[in-house]
C-alpha cells in the first residue's frame, strides 16, 4: 500500500476517512482517471452510499489527498 502525505493525513482526519477505506478504494475502485502529471484519481462507492475520491502520486506511490463526494 502507498504512503500518505501530510496533506492527505490532515484531510483524512478532518473528513473522517480511515486508512481502511483508502485501501479498499485503491484495491477495488469503481473508476480510475489519470489526468496527467503523474496523478491518478480513484473513486469508489461504498455500501452506505458514500463515494470516496483518492488522489495518488503514482510516481512516488503516495496518497496526496482524499475526500468524500
pTM: 0.93
- Residue 37 confidence class, pLDDT cut points 50, 70, 90: confident
- The tens digit of pLDDT for each residue in 14-25 reads 999 999 999 999
Whether the per-residue pLDDT at 1 is higher than 80: the answer is: no
Q: How far is CA 29 from the centre of its chain?
A: 10
CATH C-level class of 3-68 = alpha beta
- Residue 58 confidence class, pLDDT cut points 50, 70, 90: very high
- In the sheet that 31-36 helps form, which strands lie side by side, from edge to edge? 3-4, 62-68, 51-57, 39-45, 31-36
Is 32 in a helix, a strand, or coil? strand
Domain edges within the chain = 3-68
* Other beta carbons less than 10 A from residue 17's beta carbon: 20
Whether the per-residue pLDDT at 30 is higher than 90: the answer is: yes
Amino acid at each position: 500500500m502507498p504512503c500518505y502525505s501530510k496533506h492527505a493525513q490532515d484531510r483524512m482526519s478532518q473528513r473522517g476517512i480511515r486508512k481502511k477505506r483508502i485501501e479498499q478504494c485503491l484495491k477495488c475502485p469503481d473508476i480510475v482517471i489519470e489526468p496527467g502529471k503523474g496523478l491518478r484519481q480513484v473513486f469508489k462507492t461504498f455500501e452506505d452510499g458514500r463515494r470516496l475520491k483518492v488522489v495518488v502520486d503514482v510516481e512516488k506511490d503516495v496518497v496526496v489527498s482524499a475526500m468524500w463526494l
